[in-house]
Amino acid sequence: MKHFFTLLLLVAAASMLSAQIAEKPEWVALFQQGKSFPDTVDCYYGIGSSSITQDDADAKARREFALNIEARVQSVITHNVQEADNVIKEEYSATARVSSDVVLRGVSITGRFEDSTAKQFYALVQIQKSLFDTLLVTEIRRDLERKKAENKAQEEAKSEDLRSRQAALELKKKEEQTERDENELEKRQYQDFLSLKAPEEVVDLRNGEIARSDLTLALKAALSPFEVQTAYAVLAAWHFELSANAFFESDRFLKDDMLSREQASFKIQLLDQAGQFYKTSLAFGVVGYANASTLGALDSVKPKYSLFVGGDVGMPTAFNSFASAYVDARKASVGLNSYPFPGYFGDAVSFVVQMDYVWNKDWRNRFSDPLLFQLGIRFRASDAFATSFTYEGHEFLVFTVEMGL
């Protein structure tokens, strides 16, 4: 009966996983059929394919993109440089200084797909024409303005120091405005990721966020062999969070008993997604914890207390990821939640990886490993419901269900 129940859970989990697997994107299907990208009127694009690695497909997509926009780049450069005076024309090397700079700095991979059946990797670079043209013109005009200001400053410095300093001030203002424009363009490029809510946890690391629901209940169970490992509840209100966890692990040597750990924590959030691009949250609090060799001995164990600090920061340019960290008197943890395609899936699918250094021996795994690597995948159906499959403790494949009330 136990094996049947385990098999039933595996079948259910596989069904949930397959429901979340993305279908082949339209751009891949068109590329395989040798057809043109459907939205060429509104965007520039480049598609790369490789049977070697994803990085090789990415590089081919960038090269294809550069070829597709080469004529447009030269046309915009020629038009803008013609508006400059003769001295600037002679000194300005447009192709070397502008076109390569824009392609390398202003454009990133916007889509990836791996065809596991055909063992083929695909990559897509796509950007709206209006957005790319604005970025290109901004770069050209900034260089032209800088050169004009430099020449003007050199001439006027010989006769009038005040005019030279005024020119430098104007140049600084223009560069600051250009930087603001570039930041705005960057935010538009990553707007899908920037609109996501930050996750509250990685594998078991809870960061600087507050739970999305007023009450969250969760249960973790190892799949093979099946056993309930963790149960926890989280109460959240405004910038405060109260949580309680119970951990269970079968004792392989004492068949009729089990190891048991408990902890409760109170969190206060100091920063809530501060910043416009690299959004940051920070929280601190106190955690109380107890560890007993057997479940029956837990009542006689005196709990210990520790301050803790947790935080997270959104990193759009690092594979659309949120980095998290946590530290208390027992351990230090860092982790990453990466969202592969926020434009398609939002936060419905994320890959999680976590590293823990546990110096308190009572809170290590049963192998007493001080360094733990844990990873998995999380599926979020809504703010109130999420599931995950994770590899934890260097031993268990764990299935987690979280529900908000």
Q: Is the separation of the CB atoms in 6 and 223 below 8 Å?
A: yes
| Residues linked to residue 356 through DSSP beta bridges, in sequence order | 333, 372
CB-CB contact of 323 with 304 (8 Å): no
37 with 162, same domain: the answer is: yes
Q: Cis (ω within 30 of 0) for the bond into 342? A: no
Same domain for 235 and 156: no
Residues ≥6 apart with Cβ < 8 Å to 347: 196, 197, 199, 339, 380
At 103 the pLDDT is 53
9 three-state secondary structure = helix
Sheet of 43-50: strands edge to edge?
43-50, 120-128, 111-115
With respect to residue 305, please indicate whether it lies within any of the assigned structural domains: yes
Domain assignment of residue 2, yes or no: no
Total domains in the chain come to 2
Residue 378 confidence (pLDDT) = 96
7 lies in some domain: no
Output the average pLDDT for the chain.
81
- What does DSSP say about strands 331-338 and 349-358: parallel, antiparallel, or unpaired? antiparallel
The Cα 52–Cα 48 span in angstroms is: 12
Residue 64, domain member (yes or no): yes
Specify the CATH number for the domain of residue 239. 2.40.160.40
The CATH number of the domain holding residue 118 is: 3.10.28.20
Say if strands 120-128 and 111-115 run parallel, antiparallel, or are unpaired: antiparallel
Domain of 156 in residue numbering reads as 20-189
| Cα–Cα distance measured from residue 103 to residue 121, given in angstroms and rounded to the nearest whole number | 22
Same domain, 139 and 234: no
Please state, as a whole number, how many other Cβ atoms lie within 10 Å of the Cβ of residue 20.
15
Single pTM value for the model: 0.56
Q: Both 260 and 234 in a single domain?
A: yes
Task: Please give the average pLDDT of every successive group of 10 residues along the chain, which has 405 residues.
Answer: 49 43 78 73 84 89 82 70 56 50 65 88 87 77 74 71 76 81 78 92 95 94 86 95 86 52 94 92 95 62 91 93 97 96 91 96 90 96 94 93 94
Specify if 4 maps to a domain: no
Question: Does 259 lie in the same domain as 133?
Answer: no
Q: Kindly compute the dihedral angle of the four CA atoms of residues 37, 38, 43, 48, in this order, to the nearest 10 degrees.
A: -20
d(C-alpha 51, C-alpha 216), whole Å? 44
On whether both 260 and 123 belong to a single domain, the answer is no
Beta carbons of 334 and 354 less than 8 angstroms apart: yes
pLDDT of residue 371: 97
Q: Count the residues in the chain.
A: 405
The β-bridge partners of 288 are 264, 305
Same domain, 170 and 77: yes
Domain closes at, from 166, 189, 212:
189
Q: What is the per-residue pLDDT across 282-312, written as a single tens digit (0 to 9) for each?
A: 999 999 998 865 555 556 678 899 999 999 9
The answer to whether residues 90 and 212 belong to one domain is no
If one counts every other C-beta atom within 10 angstroms of the C-beta of residue 254, the result is 11
Cβ burial, residue 243 (10 Å; 0-12/13-18/19+) = buried
Domain assignment present for residue 14? The answer is no
